[in-house]
Amino acid sequence: MYAVLLVFTSGVTKRILFVGQANGGQIVNRSTRRTFLQQASTVAGTALLGGLTGAARAQSTSELGFMSAVDLAAKLRNKEIGSEELARYFISRIERYDEKLNAVVVRDFDRALDAAKEADKKLARGQVGGPLYGLPMTIKESYDIAGLPSTWGVPEAAQNIAQADSVVVERLKNAGALFLGKTNVPINLGDFQSYNEIYGTTNNPWDLTRTPGGSSGGSATALAAGLTGLDSGSDIGGSIRNPSHFCGTYGHKPTLGIVPSRGQQPPGVPPGAQHPDLAVVGPMARSAEDLALAMEIVAGADILTSPGWRLELPPPRMASLRGLRVALWADDPVAPVDSEISTRVHEIGERLDKLGATVSDSARPGFAAQVYNDTYLGILQGIMSGPASDLKFFDYQVMHGRRGHFRTEWQRFFHDWDVLICPTTATTAFVQDQSDINARTINVNGHQQPYFQQVFWAGLATLSYLPSTVFPTGLSERGLPIGLQAMGAEFDDRTTIEFARLLAREIGGYQSPDGYV
């Protein structure tokens, strides 16, 4: 709904499984076949990016698909590669690998190449239009791009063509990005998998029999397999975070309301309509640096709030991991997690302790986890049920009032702690299961658990509007990525992203799955 430890030798990425081992214009719809300013680069560099400019600098053309968007944008600015050349490179990768992955399900190659050619002309004249100028990227199918379908995987909406760009798409274009196409989703964005009758099933690049997650599964797959430079998803029940975890990439669920969601609404809902409670849109990428830059581009007031509202996110709480105050929430009876994942939480805690952080595995906010989860599920189910919902306004108001208490308790908690590290979901990527969604289960430590029980871990941040950054930590014993959440206080988006950046320096970040050279 809705890792990878690396060491580097002469620019070559090597795989290590466990954290403890670290050393340092025709539009093609595949349904038939199945003004950010230039200064944003400086702002991101000083406020968020620090000295590291990418998890792994690629040394050959074959590695371009695995570079960070920050590094690719730098190559474009420095004229080490042209925008058209890079666009054709990603298109060739999509054409080579996506038949088995089925991630980029709406393709807009001709318009992307036209935009890339224009970018190259302007770059040749010394004109740079923004920090992502000339960068090819993709985006989740649920975002409106003028002239492309926005179906949310709903068969009845297969012919729904967007008339205008969403706010996020508009801002990314103003920053210089160009769009190769859109990525797959589950019907109504309501699953931990990504399949629908219009576009078919998206597979995980680490194991084609397994889900890439949902609902931004196509986005995470495209990033992991090196089919795109950057992407953006949406999240109400883990839809950015769950796929990032399953595919070994990065994702950021922003504080509620700081990134405009206009133009990312279900078919038939007017683009200017108020987005539902809980839901956010946010970036997905191959590095924390990319998340930081993307947030600088897309965050800020929309047309309804801009007359009297300005966004001023506080700076990161830390300059290093030493002295950082870290709480661990590795498991919970409300939603048990696989022991390999809970162990990974503790391994990260042990590593942080050795680096000089203060770490606690018992610190908790002052509320009962079950009551918190019941409140989240009550609101979530009311939203996801749509017109069929039996949630009464009075009941919603009661739950909303209870949420006010939870937000206060989180505020108190994050007075004493800088970040909370917890699982993203209960297991690593599981085998695709397209049976009756209400009858599904997942295997956790040898026991069958209710399928949607795992949404508890997404709800910890979602109910109380908190930011959460998912970061890769290494691979499981079966060679599947394990990503964890770094949660922070409301509006501490820069803190959770910076934490992920600093941690990648110690344990590594994104790595590519085998078979996508």
Q: Give the model's confidence band at 7: pLDDT under 50 very low, under 70 low, under 90 confident, else very high.
A: very low
Q: Nearest 10 degrees: CA dihedral of 123, 128, 131, 133?
A: -40
Q: What is the pLDDT of residues 466-477, one digit of tens each?
A: 999 999 999 999
Mean pLDDT of the chain: 89
> Quick check: 306 and 291 in contact, CB under 8 A?
no
State residue 273's pLDDT score.
65
Mean pLDDT throughout 5-22? Answer: 29
State residue 158's pLDDT score.
98
Q: What is the pLDDT of residues 220-237, one digit of tens each?
A: 999 999 999 999 999 999
State residue 62's pLDDT score.
58
Nearest to residue 280, comparing CAs of 212, 216, 370, 369?
216
Amino acid residing at 115: A
pLDDT of 13 strictly over 50: no
State residue 397's pLDDT score.
93
Q: pTM for this structure?
A: 0.89
Query: Is there a catalytic annotation at residue 140?
Result: yes
Amino acid residing at 159: Q
Q: Which residue has the tokens 């950015």?
A: 240
Task: Please name the residue ranges forming H helices in 270-427.
Answer: 288-298, 339-354, 369-384, 393-416
State residue 61's pLDDT score.
54
Cα–Cα distances (Å) from 45 to 285, 392, 435, 491, in that order, read: 17, 47, 47, 19
Query: Catalytic pick from 239, 244, 468, 512?
Result: 239
Pick 43 or 181 by higher pLDDT: 181
Query: Catalytic pick from 31, 41, 68, 140?
Result: 140
Q: How far apart are CA 456 and CA 454, in angstroms?
A: 5
> Quick check: 492 and 38 in contact, CB under 8 A?
no
> Quick check: 485 and 421 in contact, CB under 8 A?
yes
Q: Give the model's confidence band at 389: pLDDT under 50 very low, under 70 low, under 90 confident, else very high.
A: confident
**What's phi and psi for 130, nearest 5 deg?**
155, 175
pLDDT of 272 strictly over 90: no
Q: What is the pLDDT of residues 432-460, one digit of tens each?
A: 999 999 999 999 999 999 999 999 999 99
- Written as six digits, the tokens of 407 are 């937000």
Half-sphere exposure of 145 (CA within 13 A, CB side): 26
What residue ranges do the domains of the chain occupy?
A: 25-303
Mean pLDDT throughout 491-501? Answer: 98
Mean pLDDT throughout 139-145? Answer: 98
Q: Give the model's confidence band at 8: pLDDT under 50 very low, under 70 low, under 90 confident, else very high.
A: very low
State residue 45's pLDDT score.
32
Mean pLDDT throughout 129-158? Answer: 98
Query: Catalytic pick from 142, 166, 194, 215?
Result: 215
Mean pLDDT throughout 304-313? Answer: 94
Q: How far apart are CA 211 and CA 201, in angstroms?
A: 9
Radius of gyration of the chain (CA): 21
DSSP of 318-329: -SSSTT-EEEE-
Pick 134 or 387 by higher pLDDT: 134
Q: How far apart are CA 100 and CA 232, in angstroms?
A: 22
Pairing of strands 136-140, 178-183: parallel
Q: Give the model's confidence band at 358: pLDDT under 50 very low, under 70 low, under 90 confident, else very high.
A: very high
Mean pLDDT throughout 495-505? Answer: 98
Q: What is the pLDDT of residues 328-345, one digit of tens each?
A: 999 999 999 999 999 999
Contacts of 137 (CB under 8 A, 6+ apart): 69, 172, 177, 178, 179, 180, 228, 229, 230, 231
pLDDT of 46 strictly over 50: no
pLDDT of 21 strictly over 50: no
Q: How far apart are CA 93 and CA 244, in angstroms?
A: 20
Q: Give the model's confidence band at 276: pLDDT under 50 very low, under 70 low, under 90 confident, else very high.
A: confident
- Cβ burial 188-208 (10 Å sphere, 16+ → b, else e): bbbbbbbbbebbbbbbbbbbe
Query: Is there a catalytic annotation at residue 215?
Result: yes
Strands (E) across 17-135 are located at: 28-29, 104-107
Q: How far apart are CA 94 and CA 231, in angstroms?
A: 15
**Of the given ranges (13-22, 268-277, 281-290, 366-375), which has the lowest mean pLDDT?**
13-22
Query: Is there a catalytic annotation at residue 60?
Result: no
| CATH architecture of structural domain 25-303 | Alpha-Beta Complex (3.90)
Cα–Cα distances (Å) from 321 to 325, 351, 470, in that order, read: 9, 10, 17
Q: Give the model's confidence band at 187: pLDDT under 50 very low, under 70 low, under 90 confident, else very high.
A: very high
Q: Which residues pair with 483 in a beta bridge?
A: 472
State residue 175's pLDDT score.
98
pLDDT of 22 strictly over 60: no
Mean pLDDT throughout 140-156? Answer: 98
Q: How far apart are CA 166 and CA 172, in angstroms?
A: 10
> Quick check: 484 and 305 in contact, CB under 8 A?
no
